[in-house]
Chains A and B, each alone.
Chain A
Amino acid sequence: MKNRTFYISLILTVSLILSSCSSSRQIDSLGIVITMAVDMEDDEIIVTSQISSSKENASTSNQKSAGSSSDIKYVQGRGKTVYDALKNASLNYDRELFLSHNSIIIFGEELAKTGIGDIINYFSYDIGTRETAYLLVAKESKAYEILGLSYLTDDYLLTLIENAHLTAKTRNMTLVEYLRYYFYSHGLVPGVVQLTDKMEIDYEKKEKSPTRKVLDITGGAAFYKDRLQGYYSGEEMIGFNFLIDEIKRNPIVFETPDELTQGSKLFSTRGRYTTINILKSKTKLNMEVRDEKPHLIVDVNMRGTIVEETKGLNLSDESVRLGIEDACSKQIEKYIDMAMYKAQKEFKIDTFGIGIVLHREYPEVWKEVSKNWNEVFSDIDYSVNVKTSIIRTGVIDLPINIIKGRE
């Protein structure tokens, strides 16, 4: 019995000492970092942290509404390395920075162009950092300029990023995904964030003026290894997302073919566009070798539902449905073309991971071309087959213009 007690306490003590898990911190002594911006100026790294400060809305002053915008603090530190900069922040801020809840890391454009590889190292080193933090590039600005907007609440930017699937015009990419893609040297397209002007009407002056800055995360930043090469626009990102098969439930807008409306006497026929919401989409990339050149075949299989239609089409007609499906497929092809053009002709880098498909299917060919794959990639041919199937018309009631037109 005595022996047993001794061994149990020995095991417990040893594992306690060796695991060195014995430092306790009170929550109120921590500066909880929500978003972090990393820049480089004059060979010095500047780390700006957005801290959810709870001092102002402490429980003793309940009258103040919790989470109001003025509660947020920005703490900046400069140093030779990221860690150094973070620690230097304590010279002007009274709390220890707590990185475990940091959900976004923003890199300044300047820094991204010179390469973030050395810097991102820190985030995979430290035990305190969160590997699922989203990476963003501050388009055309310093990263710290992004922070500090007056309306920026704790999770405003985070929610923007997490809603990326609603449009597919942007991308959310986490730190751990970046580290994984880095080895493949493809798909390194984190999201971007940009300060844009928002027009607001000042009712007193009765004039329109850009009074407010807002954040916009349209587009994606294309990286080669750890250096920023350029940006995809919002529409190119749709093509990009189709190519890497990360389409969820976003809408596709396309022009309604004229021939479908022939013969319909409608009250209004001015609408040009039809909108389809994607329910499910699956992309398959295949490689073939044609004339000793790699040839890419993109097969997209998409199911969707009509959500908006402005031309008064008779949706119960089979031929009309087929026409719309065809037009939608063409639009998706166009998006993919745009993305491919940008990658092949402007960046000349394979951001889609096409090299991996080639490697998998033609290992011998890959051996030859892998040395200068990005050059080979920039002039491979490709063909796109999109199969759209509309499974629902989505019509609840007959549109008013159809009712009017039938009278």
Chain B
Amino acid sequence: MISKNINDNKNRIRYLFGNSSDLVFHQFETLSETGAMVVYINGLVDKSALNDSIIRPLLEDLISPYDIKSTIYISEIKEAKTLKDAVDSIIDGHVLLFFENFDYAFIMNICRYEKRSIQESSSEQVIRGPKESFIEDLYVNRTLIRRKIRNQNLIFEDYIFGRQTNTKVSICYIKGIVNDEILAELKARLNTIDIDGVIDSHYIEEHIEDAPRSLVATIYDTEKPDVVVGKLLEGRIGIICDGSPVVLTLPRLFIEDLMTAEDYYLRPQFATYLRVMRVVAFFASMMLIGTYIAIATFHQEMIPTKLLLSIATQREGVPLPAFLEGVLMLIFFEFLKEAGLRLPKPINTTVALVGGLVIGQASVDAGLVSGFMIIVVAASGITEFVNLQLRELVVLYRFVFLFLGALFGLYGISSGSIILIFHLVSIKSFGVPFMYPLAPYDKEGMKDFMRRSPLKKYNYRPKYISSKDARKRSADNEE
């Protein structure tokens, strides 16, 4: 309960906050000489608004605390009856106002803190289409979505996770489009979360995903509002987490990894071509090294004669068997990648230069590895970056295929692929088959699979994902 004595309140709040140094207590007397006190956390509130809109009217105009709403210039004033409410609102960045002889406090929202401005996404750049990306602030992120869907059916629901961090998390969906079963399932899973702190949206993802032991992610993440909006319109649900610029959407399908936002801003033919290239790159980055080693050590008769002679020439004098050669180069490449990823830009150039030269030229000249292996490793390295969403899967399975190819030849490669396919078709994301629309096959869904059909052709939203009324456009306009 809030005491009528200001000093009493002050001491109790100070005690609750453990005498934290960023807490500010400011005591003064209003025009009518009533004792008053504002409490806030330094840095979370707008100081000029505090001075001009709260303190000044109180000092100059306030006659009775009961007139407060007609005196100060704040749009959001609530009353706190208990000390717990009061403390919670301080943490949220609100200002508490106490009056002498009042057993409740006023909570005023003039919250304002430093945040990053909205910039172009660094991980999902596009040439054409919206360029803005999410920032670390939940409220701004919600606005970014709201501005694109001007519809009262866009719903945000708030949750708070983290025993210590009390992080705000919002789920958002479009009522009428969302599949209620998936929504209920998501809510059930969210309610089981018991976690100390939520620092990034990935913390939520790991708690609610379907296949935590698999390398395949069953929840999609993006930094771009237009991507989220596109997914919401298909009936997916978004999860926005305060403090993270990455927004999750679910359920996730395999094909989403091979799509980019730009697919829908380009001509359908070209977008289709790009998707085919991405599929090729996906397989190349995963299986190229393994297949090369399998063919070069088990199935030399499969290589065209001239190519074989060329490989044989380069292999001449290389001390390592093809398998070790591949592992060596691949590990070298991974080191180089990892080093280059987090270095400051000026050093990065040096690393790239030294790494490129050492790996590319010197190791061939020294006779440590064959030139052909360098090409294969480089090709699978480059193709890895074509599908960034699949990187985790590709990098680790590449090693798996490398071992399989070296141990069992093409037999190993094909059994590895079969097991991978088994795995992919057995995964579900929130009840939706991961390989939809390929397995289970759906003709309507195939319109937006490898082939990106013209937008006019999409008459239905994806089956399973959206609600039963899946028609996108009125039947009269159907093509």
Q: What is A's interface to B at a CB cutoff of 8 Å? A: 8, 12, 15-16, 19, 21-28, 30, 32, 34, 52, 54-55, 57-60, 66, 98, 100-101, 103, 128, 130, 154-155
Rounded to whole Å, the gap between the CB of A129 and the closest CB of chain B is 10
Complex CA gap A130/B296 in Å reads 18
Cβ contacts B292-318/A at 8 Å (1 or 0 each): 000011101100011011011111111
Q: Can you name 16 A-B residue pairings with CB atoms under 8 Å?
A: A8-B422, A12-B415, A19-B411, A21-B408, A26-B297, A27-B311, A27-B312, A30-B300, A32-B305, A32-B309, A58-B316, A58-B317, A59-B317, A101-B300, A101-B301, A128-B301
Give A158's nearest chain B residue, CB to CB: B305
Complex CA gap A119/B376 in Å reads 41
Residues of chain B lying within 8 A (CB to CB) of residue A60 = 316-317, 367
Are B313 and A103 closer than 8 Å at their CB atoms? Answer: no
Complex CA gap A26/B318 in Å reads 11
Are A26 and B408 closer than 8 Å at their CB atoms? Answer: no
Complex CA gap A28/B325 in Å reads 13
Residues of chain B lying within 8 A (CB to CB) of residue A28 = 312, 315-318
Q: Does B322 contact A (CB under 8 A)?
A: yes
Instruction: Among A16, A25, A27, find the residue whose CB has the most chain B CB atoms closer than 10 A.
Output: A27
Are B316 and A55 closer than 8 Å at their CB atoms? Answer: yes
Are A54 and B313 closer than 8 Å at their CB atoms? Answer: yes
Residues of chain A lying within 8 A (CB to CB) of residue B322 = 26-27
Rounded to whole Å, the gap between the CB of B420 and the closest CB of chain A is 12
Rounded to whole Å, the gap between the CB of B400 and the closest CB of chain A is 14
Q: What is B's interface to A at a CB cutoff of 8 Å? A: 296-298, 300-301, 305-306, 308-309, 311-318, 321-322, 364, 367, 370-371, 406, 408-409, 411, 415, 419, 422
Complex CA gap A101/B311 in Å reads 14
Instruction: Among A55, A98, A100, A128, find the residue whose CB has the most chain B CB atoms closer than 10 A.
Output: A100
Residues of chain A lying within 8 A (CB to CB) of residue B296 = 27
Are B305 and A59 closer than 8 Å at their CB atoms? Answer: no
Give A15's nearest chain B residue, CB to CB: B411
Residues of chain B lying within 8 A (CB to CB) of residue A103 = 305
A-B pairs, 8 with minimum CB distance: A100-B301, A58-B316, A54-B313, A24-B297, A28-B315, A101-B305, A58-B317, A54-B312
Complex CA gap A27/B317 in Å reads 11
Give B298's nearest chain A residue, CB to CB: A24
Complex CA gap A68/B419 in Å reads 47
Complex CA gap A8/B306 in Å reads 39
Residues of chain A lying within 8 A (CB to CB) of residue B317 = 28, 58-60
Complex CA gap A25/B321 in Å reads 9
Complex CA gap A300/B313 in Å reads 49
Are B316 and A155 closer than 8 Å at their CB atoms? Answer: no
Are B415 and A26 closer than 8 Å at their CB atoms? Answer: no
Are A25 and B300 closer than 8 Å at their CB atoms? Answer: yes
Are A59 and B316 closer than 8 Å at their CB atoms? Answer: yes
Complex CA gap A126/B422 in Å reads 37
Residues of chain B lying within 8 A (CB to CB) of residue A19 = 411
Instruction: Among B297, B311, B312, B409, find the residue whose CB has the most chain A CB atoms closer than 10 A.
Output: B312
Residues of chain A lying within 8 A (CB to CB) of residue B415 = 12
**A59/B408 contact (C-beta < 8 A), A21-B298, A54-B309, A100-B300 known:** no
Residues of chain B lying within 8 A (CB to CB) of residue A21 = 298, 408-409, 411
Rounded to whole Å, the gap between the CB of A156 and the closest CB of chain B is 13
Residues of chain B lying within 8 A (CB to CB) of residue A128 = 301
Rounded to whole Å, the gap between the CB of B306 and the closest CB of chain A is 7
Rounded to whole Å, the gap between the CB of B315 and the closest CB of chain A is 4
Complex CA gap A57/B367 in Å reads 13
Complex CA gap A15/B418 in Å reads 14
> Contact check: which of B312, B316, B364, B419 meets A8 at CB < 8 Å?
B419
Complex CA gap A155/B308 in Å reads 13
Complex CA gap A98/B299 in Å reads 11
**A98/B409 contact (C-beta < 8 A), A26-B322, A27-B308, A28-B316 known:** no
Rounded to whole Å, the gap between the CB of B320 and the closest CB of chain A is 9
Instruction: Among A15, A16, A57, find the residue whose CB has the most chain B CB atoms closer than 10 A.
Output: A16
Rounded to whole Å, the gap between the CB of A82 and the closest CB of chain B is 19
Complex CA gap A12/B370 in Å reads 32
